[in-house]
Amino acid sequence: MKATTETRIDNDMVVRSAPMEFGSLDESSRSIECVMCTETPVRMIDWYREEYFDEVLLAEGARMPSQLPLLDNHSRYSSESVIGSVRNIRREGDKWIGRAYFMDNDDNVEKIWQRVRQGHLKDVSIGYQYERSFVEIRKGEKAVVGGRTFEATEDRKKRVVTEWLGKELSTTPIGADQLAKMRSFSDVKFGHEVSKSEIATSSQTRESESIQNDRQERTMSAVATETNSESVRTEQLVAQVATPLLPIKDEAAIRAEAAREERERSEYARSFVSQGVRAELVDEAIKNGWDKPTMNERFLKALTSERTLPVASNNAPAVHIHDNEVRKEDLQALFLMRAGVKIEGGNFARSQCHQSTFERHEGHEQDMSFAIRAARTLERGGNLDETSERALEFANKHRNIHLVQACAMALDKFGIAYNRYDSKEIVTRAVTTQSIAPFLTNALGAQILDGFIGSPDTTSWCRSVELPNDNPQPVAKGGMISRLRKRLSGQVPVPATREATEEFISVATYSEQYFIDRKDLLADRFGKINDAPADIGVAAMEIIQDLVYSTLMLNANMADGNALFSAAHGNSAVSAAFSAANLYARRIAMMVQMNNGRPISADPSTLIIPPSLEYAARQMINSSEIRGGITQELGTANPLQNSFNLVVERRIETGTINPDTDLAVSARATDYYIADRLGRWGLMKAFLRSNGGGPIIEQWMPGDGRIGVGTTIELEAGTKAVGWEGLQRGTAAGS
């Protein structure tokens, strides 16, 4: 008995294929009758639990349109995959029958038709949909469904589907439903019904099936060599058999049947209202007597012209797919959406996000460029280009598919063969052949970058620069040119001087690895319940903050031999507990700093405090009046109101780890700092120029036998105090 399985073509469509017997072929109409499906149990795969089960499609539960597309092996990505249509669809007992018509004047279809005609291609496969209309029977148990008893085997559960919708029929090389087949002459002529005992015999006896197939092939060979007159007689016989005479009905029966057909037609039309077709158009269809094919055509046209596909967020663009080819940008957008990354309204429009951040595989160098371009276009309210529109719509349409299906799409895109019934093989080949690795790595990188950019930044008061490489770079302190001097007639201008003390700054590399195992992909965990990549991005931002506040609290010596905060620099007040008077004194101390004989014109407007001082600080800088201890001459106005931007930093109170040395930095819970708004005279953050001020993402493959995709995040950053004039520190401590 041949193995029977299922596969999913869309996010909720299933197909079951089967070996079929050749028969009832009509040369003149290029058609053949097929048993599309039966109630024979077929083994299926539960993608989510990774286990097999037996599925029964109840014939009475089927909803079939008047016509189905005939496809080549369930290929649904292009209209060119349609090789004909299935008509005269009807139910006969526990089977659904239809006549498959093959297109004419098409070279590709002709090849398939000849395979059918000569008896080499004998299987059909139906594609169908259902949602929750089924009864599941546990292993070894029985259940009554629709008045009939069904029993599951000891090794597999059984699912009895009570309502399902036929979507398409395909020719296929290997089938699953043993009784779904092209119909033989004897079946049609004598109305042969297959009993349950014959089903068992069909499933178990290969020898008789082989003999029967050989007999059919010999018969077809004989038919192919007949004379023209014999062919004509054969066609006439087929026509007579295919259209048997109907019994004459009385007038009442005819009227009853006409009323039933009209009722069914009206119900069919009204069923489209729930799918978004306007009620006015449905009423028009009923009133004007549209048949089902006409309804299908006009309703579909109305839907595609009046409604866009659902999108992931309220402000996502309304876009339209122009063809059915799957492109790299489509797959990349799909993996981004599955990762929970927002292209529209997210962080992709930020300056830290650019193409160089992401994976740069050969052939995939620009996979992310469309997403970044689209995000920035949407940010400024522009119109998307066609590539971005199509990619976003593709991702929105397929965002709920299982990751195994996404892997299969990638394999199809790059023409890599695989067993579509083996989910483990699909994932393995997708990963090991680099079909999805670049898309997956970029999606992980986007999650990481989303966490990085979305993290609160308490270091925005620092000046940020980009370095050409990781070598120490000399940085001139924000020194000022000497003041201009008066020049008398005939005098030579005095050369300008610059008080520039060189400090050296460099970047170091901080990295982390993250690995997605094959089991994660099979279980569809990616982007749904796993927020580890975004947390890595948050950790990258924390590295920068750890570097900045380690520098601030360690108070190391500068190039002039004095500590950053020292009496020599005039920027430190010890035994000066946090108060309005001491805060104002630190503000004045910065405003009078000099450099090369000139005031530095600093703007002391950033106040940096530990959490324990936040309550008092907000009172000091937000209150409009001062109450108590105020003389009449000074008034009650608060001179500190709206003077500072407040930065509350926990590291001052808890201490931190210096990433540069991996050593602990002690807390300074009573310290408070004032920084120049422009950061010109204080701390500097440095990043590698090629990385754009953010982390970069690289892929790695494990060499220890594991199968999956590894991602390395690297952040190249550093900090240095390049000046003291733009920094002030007050502390209740003695030093």
> Quick one: which of 125, 60, 130 has its CA closest to 91?
60
Which residues contact residue 184 at a Cβ distance below 8 angstroms, ignoring those fewer than 6 apart?
21, 22, 23, 24, 216
Domain annotation covers residue 63: yes
Residues 94 and 202 in one domain: yes
* Chain segment 363-411, per-residue pLDDT in tens: 454 566 667 777 777 777 777 788 888 888 888 888 788 888 888 888 8
**Cβ atoms within 10 Å of 614's Cβ, excluding its own:** 12
Task: Pick the last residue of a domain from 454, 483, 517.
Answer: 454
90 and 235 share one domain: yes
The residue written with tokens 């993402």 in the block is 697
CB-based contacts of 172: which residues, under 8 Å, 6+ apart?
A: 17, 73, 74, 123, 124, 125
Burial 160-177 (b: 16+ CB within 10 A, else e): bbbbbbbbbbbbbebbbb
Query: Does 652 reside within a domain?
Result: yes
Q: Are residues 66 and 123 in the same domain?
A: yes
**What pLDDT does 615 receive?**
94
Q: 26 and 129 share a domain? A: yes
3-state secondary structure of 729: strand
Separation between Cα atoms, residue 520 and residue 516, nearest integer Å: 6
Q: Supply 568's token pair.
A: 């020599």
Q: What pLDDT sits at residue 296?
A: 75
- Do 209 and 270 have their domain in common? no
Instruction: Supply 516's token pair.
Output: 């997605």
My answer on whether 269 and 201 are in the same domain is no
CB 723 within 8 A of CB 478: yes
Same domain, 88 and 220: yes
Looking at 454, 489, 513, the residue that finishes a domain is 454
How many CA atoms within 13 Å lie on the side-chain side of 228?
A: 0
- 3 state DSSP class of 184: coil
CB 697 within 8 A of CB 712: yes
- Average pLDDT on 285-313 reads 64
Here the tokens at position 103 are: 């297109």
Q: Answer for the pair 349, 379: CB distance below 8 angstroms, yes or no.
A: yes
**Element housing 542 (H / E):** helix 532-554
Least confident of 178-182, 257-261, 699-703: 178-182
Separation of alpha carbons 711 and 508, rounded Å: 19
As a whole-number percent, the residues of the chain with pLDDT over 90 amount to 25
Are residues 22 and 146 both part of a single domain? yes
**Domain termination site, one of 242, 272, 297:** 242
| Best CA proximity match to 299, nearest among 319, 282, 287 | 282
Residue of 164, 161, 182, 176 lying closest to 36 (CA atoms): 182
Number of domains in the chain: 4
The model's pLDDT over 45-102, given as tens digits with 9 standing for 90+, comes to 775 566 788 999 999 999 999 899 999 887 766 777 899 999 999 999 999 999 999 9
* pLDDT tens, residue by residue, 517-549: 888 888 876 654 457 788 888 898 999 999 999
Residue 607: both structure tokens together: 């106040």
Return d(Cα 724, Cα 679) in angstroms, integer: 10
pLDDT band, very low/low/confident/very high, at 663 (cuts 50, 70, 90) = very high
**Nearest CA among 534, 545, 530, 539 for reference residue 512:** 539
In angstroms, rounded to a whole number, what is the distance separating the alpha carbons of residues 303 and 287?
20
**Residue 452 clears pLDDT 90, i.e. is over it:** no
pLDDT at residue 719, as a whole number: 94
445 within 8 A of 359, measured Cβ to Cβ? yes
Strand partners, 33: 99
The C-alpha torsion from 561 through 567 and 569 to 573, rounded to 10°, is: 130
CA–CA distance, 282 with 31 (Å, rounded to integer): 33
pLDDT at site 392: 83
Structure confidence at residue 579 (pLDDT): 92
Bridge-based pairing state of the strands 157-161 and 51-57: parallel
Q: Is there a single domain that holds both residue 275 and residue 399? A: no
CA-closest candidate to residue 50, choices 427, 472, 393 = 427
Does 221 map to a domain?
yes
Residues 126 and 223 in one domain: yes
Which tokens go with 426?
């699909």
Torsions phi, psi of 208, nearest 5? -65, -35
Of residues 24, 21, 22, the one with CA closest to residue 238:
24
CA distance 567 to 503: 20
Kindly state whether residue 464 falls inside one of the protein's structural domains. Answer: no
Residue 285, pLDDT score: 84
Choose from 210-224, 249-263, 409-423, 713-727 the range with maximum mean pLDDT. 713-727
Higher pLDDT, residue 15 or 229: 15
Alpha helix positions (H), 225-306 = 228-242, 251-270, 279-287, 292-306
Does the residue 543 lie in any domain? no
pLDDT of 500 reads 60
C-alpha torsion angle, residues 73, 78, 81, 82 (rounded to 10): 120
Give the range of the structural domain holding residue 441, as residue numbers without chain letter: 328-454
- Provide the angle, in degrees to the nearest 10, between the axes of the packed helices 437-454 and 328-338: 50
pLDDT at res. 184: 37
Is 471 part of a structural domain of the chain?
A: no
For the segment 622-648, what is each residue's pLDDT rounded down to a tens digit?
A: 988 887 655 556 678 888 888 899 999
Q: Do 79 and 216 share a domain, yes or no?
A: yes
In this structure, is residue 647 part of a structural domain?
yes
Q: Quick one: 297 and 372 in the same domain?
A: no
Instruction: Name the one residue in this structure whose structure tokens are 């093959």.
Output: 102
Average pLDDT over residues 656-669: 94
Is 546 within a domain?
Answer: no
Q: How far apart are CA 674 and CA 647, in angstroms?
A: 10
Nearest residue to 65 (alpha-carbon basis) of 355, 269, 319: 269
Mean pLDDT of 607-612: 96
Q: Closest Cα partner for 62 from 86, 97, 88?
A: 97
